[in-house]
Structure 1
Amino acid sequence: MTELSTERRMWSLFEPVHAITYFADDALGAFEEAGLRGFWRGYFAGRSAPLGAVPAGPVLAAFYGFAPRMVTRALPDVWTRITPAAALDARLDGARRVLRKVEGDLTEAASLLRAAAEAVDLHGRVLGAANATLPLPQDTAEDPAAVLWQAATTLREHRGDGHVAALLVEGLDGAESNVWRVALLDGAGREFYQPARGWTDEEWAAAIDRLRGRDWLDAEGRATGRAREAYTRVERTTDALAATPWRVLGTTATARCAELLHPIAAQTSRMLRHPNPIGLQPIS
């Protein structure tokens, strides 16, 4: 089994902390209490709120894998139901509700993760930079749950921005990136990923044809060697673009951060709805 890179390892630990805002019941309840009925209103409002009351275009660009109609259905309509400031409050309140039930040293974990998040590269990282500039308590101990979640979210969006750049270098559009992902899983999950990202059968089939034309899929729709080589390139580029926070934090502090995050992530991962579009599984 291939050993995970430091960047991938840390993502596997902070992503389950971030993802509670979308898939943990208490966090979803906070969006509903704020007036956003339905999962996707909360998702699009909560995730895009750091950008302000933007229309669909910037969100379509930043979120990347969604079909345009999926985004335009939510935006700008959600801003008639909630302000970005209220959406930010709702997502942080929901995260607090979840994390305050978690056992572990949230304060030290939050301090280390905050130090990593404060080192993210801002240039070209739209979602990462928007999250990095949100205010946090000066003293982490005042509200470690909020600091932990926001730091995880900043790092998650920073890595995601880099991943989008890697996909663009490979020439993959939103539909193709989803079809490619399913093919790499030997066809598993199309019935879940396709509707979750809003692509029609016709759009999915067209993306399959384009990838076949590049010799990324065979006649049966299976990933070819070229497709798997591209996956390796994308992951290496994504890791390289996500490396700065951990380089700045240093080897010893990063290892300590991972040690503290593991039991926290194990608990939050079990609170998530499964399956989920991120592909997260429970951590033992």
Structure 2
Amino acid sequence: MNTSLPPRAGRRCHHVLNPLHSTHYFSPDLGKELAGIGVSDRNAAYFAVRAAAMGPVGAGTVTATFYNFRYEFVARHIPEVWRTASAEDVLAARARAVDATLRRLLGEEVIASKEVAEAAELALRAAQACDRTARPLYAAHADLPVPDEPHLALWHAATLLREHRGDGHLAVLLNAELDPVEALVSHTATGKGMAPKWIRATRGWSRDDWDAAADRLRERGLLSADGELTEAGTALREEIEAETDRLDRAPYEYLGAAGVERLTELATGLLKRALAAGAFPEGMVGKG
């Protein structure tokens, strides 16, 4: 194990692996595959594919593990979706959608390249050091078999690393006393992530919910009157990311500085290609 990683090396690696994982959520291939097993609603499809590794869980479990979704919004689709398609069928449909999505975005030549195989090997090696303790979404996905094909193995490893970091991040948000909407508002105010209109539409929050959360952040001195982070708000968000890094350090320390640098390089190239192929909807990112 090499613990002498450059500052934020794990975070930088996460920031290019996570979008590779997330491409399938916005892919027409996912809608096609889920519709083929009877799940035609886009929100129901998202809840089902991300939760399926845990089995046919209820709305409470999904809300708890996803954190920033409105419970009533989740409950419109969960557990009803499991009466339409089993968790096993959803996982199989997701795998087919991921395969189709990556082949379309990256191209067959890249899919078959030694770079994808190398990235998969590095990401899987890093994931060996992830810990199941108090990380339900990671633990559920860690129980799934590793796909044989390198591009799918890379996606699987990216999923493990994403959910491992995400589970730890939720503990940090709780410690910071940010409720789900406050976490979304404060993160959006950093200028990163999805635009508020996308967040509200996909998480089930109303504009009133959003504005009320912003008011609570202003009362804590974290948000200014014009919706920007104050100095205290910026400091809190930086502390949240630093603590998330600390809780997520094991896989990247295990991989070592050279391995993390190489994985970041490879994933960056793949992500750039996916973005150029239109992996995400226009206008999704930003403050709009």
TM-score, normalised relative to structure 1:
0.88
| 2:23 pairs with 1:20 | yes
Residue deviations 1:110-156 (CA, integer Å, cap 9, x gap)? 1111111122111111111111111124xxxx411221111111111
Of the three residues 198, 210, 226, the one matched with 1:204 is 210
Bigger drift between 163-172 and 262-271 goes to 262-271
Cα deviation for residue 78 of structure 1 reads 0.8
Whether the aligned pair in 2 keeps the contact of 1:107 and 1:144 (CA below 8 Å) is: yes
Q: What does residue 64 of structure 2 align with? A: 61
Amino acid at match of 1:260: L
| 2:251 pairs with 1:245 | yes
| 2:273 pairs with 1:273 | no
Structure-to-structure mapping, 1:143-182, within 5 angstroms? 143-182=149-188
Give the alignment's Cα RMSD to 1 decimal.
2.1
Cα deviation for residue 91 of structure 1 reads 1.0
Aligned in 2, Cα 1:26/1:213: closer, same or farther, shift over 3 Å?
same
> Matched residue pairs, number?
272
Residue deviations 1:154-213 (CA, integer Å, cap 9, x gap)? 111111111111111110001111222233339x93333222221123322321221122
In structure 2, how many angstroms separate the alpha carbons of the residues matched to 1:129 and 1:269? 29
Residue deviations 1:81-128 (CA, integer Å, cap 9, x gap)? 111111111111111112234214222211111111122111111111
Cα deviation for residue 276 of structure 1 reads 7.4
Structure-to-structure mapping, 1:102-121, within 5 angstroms? 102=106, 103=110, 104=113, 105-121=115-131
Aligned in 2, Cα 1:172/1:147: closer, same or farther, shift over 3 Å?
same
| 2:167 pairs with 1:127 | no
| 2:78 pairs with 1:75 | yes
Of the three residues 236, 261, 267, the one matched with 2:242 is 236
Structure-to-structure mapping, 1:25-44, within 5 angstroms? 25-44=28-47
Gaps of 5+ in 2: 1-5
Whether the aligned pair in 1 keeps the contact of 2:20 and 2:158 (CA below 8 Å) is: yes
In structure 2, how many angstroms separate the alpha carbons of the residues matched to 1:276 and 1:60? 26
Percentage identity across paired residues of the two chains:
35
Q: What does residue 86 of structure 1 align with? A: 89
Q: What does residue 3 of structure 2 align with? A: none
In structure 2, how many angstroms separate the alpha carbons of the residues matched to 1:168 and 1:9? 23
Whether the aligned pair in 1 keeps the contact of 2:188 and 2:195 (CA below 8 Å) is: yes
| 2:231 pairs with 1:225 | yes
Whether the aligned pair in 2 keeps the contact of 1:16 and 1:269 (CA below 8 Å) is: no
Q: Highest relative contact order (Cα 8 Å, sep 6+), 1 or 2?
A: 2
Cα deviation for residue 275 of structure 1 reads 4.5
Aligned in 2, Cα 1:184/1:262: closer, same or farther, shift over 3 Å?
closer
Amino acid at match of 1:110: A
Bigger drift between 128-137 and 223-232 goes to 128-137
Cα deviation for residue 4 of structure 1 reads 7.0
